[in-house]
Structure 1
Amino acid sequence: MTKLRYKTNYKSEVIDITNDIKEAVIKSGVKNGMAVVFCPHSTASVIIFEKSDTTLKRDLLKTLSEIVPDKEYHHSNAKAHLKAAFLRSNLSLIVDNGSVVLGEWQGIYLVEFDGPRDRDVLVKVVNG
């Protein structure tokens, strides 16, 4: 297993981690199998998302803010937990010929909702 660490800089942000995931797969030596990417935090997520238009990251954060409005909640950082619940904490990626399979316009992202913080992303690559 590979543990990747990221320092987020803002309350909410979208960080491209595609190259780090690809590197972890290469270092694993697995040629064909699966890579599981897991974010062990309840106020952050990992997603596959459009990589060519950076304005979409702002649109994603804006839309999630509309779904989870700025209001009083019972829990102090409930907004961050609720936003993360709409996304996901893990991804399953196909590894083919030593590389992660992604669509032409896809990248892998860590999404922060309660920063700035130090965040871990775990990558486990298995033969298959």
Structure 2
Amino acid sequence: METLSFKTNTEELLDITAKISDIVKKSNIENGICYVYVPHTTCGLAINENADPSVKSDILGELREMVNENYPYRHAEGNSTAHIKSILTGNSLNIFIENNNLKLGTWQGIFLCEFDGHRNREVWIKLTAD
């Protein structure tokens, strides 16, 4: 297993595709699966467009609309919305490896979705060969 470490800012979608792709390349696995997992409860993972940066801001904006900050949350730490957003994005991804490359669509990238700002985050990567 490989571990990637990141220092995040406030709410953001951080493109981590290149770092994961580097791990795949160094593995020399021709075909298999890349498992990506975050061991945190206030961030998530997503695959989405990485060509147009406005897509990231649109996604974050829509998540803000969907998750009401003014709801009377019982969790008193002030990050209840981050917990809910992380459930919506999920905490794991499975990506095919083909010819020693991540098998992503033309416009796809892998994002660490930070919902609780200024944190030290880990992303765990496990590769298995066919």
Instruction: Please tell me the TM-score bracket, short chain as reference.
Output: over 0.9
Task: Say which SS state the counterpart of residue 94 (structure 1) adopts.
Answer: strand
Cα deviation for residue 27 of structure 1 reads: 1.6
Structure 1 gap segments, 5+ residues each:
none
- 1:11-26 alignment, distance < 5 Å: 12-26=11-25
- The residue number in structure 1 matching 2:74 is 74
TM-score (norm 1): 0.96
Return structure 1 stretches of 4+ with deviation > 3 angstroms: none
Q: In structure 1, what is the equivalent of residue 36 of structure 2?
A: 37
Q: Identity of aligned pairs, percent?
A: 40
Q: What is the alpha-carbon distance in structure 2 between the residues aligned to residue 124 and residue 52 of structure 1?
A: 26
Aligned length: 127
Alignment map for 1:1-128 (pairs within 5 Å)? 1-10=1-10, 12-71=11-70, 72-75=72-75, 76=77, 77-128=79-130
Distance 2:126 2:117 in 1: 25
Amino acid at match of 1:19: A
* TM-score, reference length from structure 2: 0.95
Shift of 1:94: 0.4
**1:66, CA displacement in angstroms?**
0.7
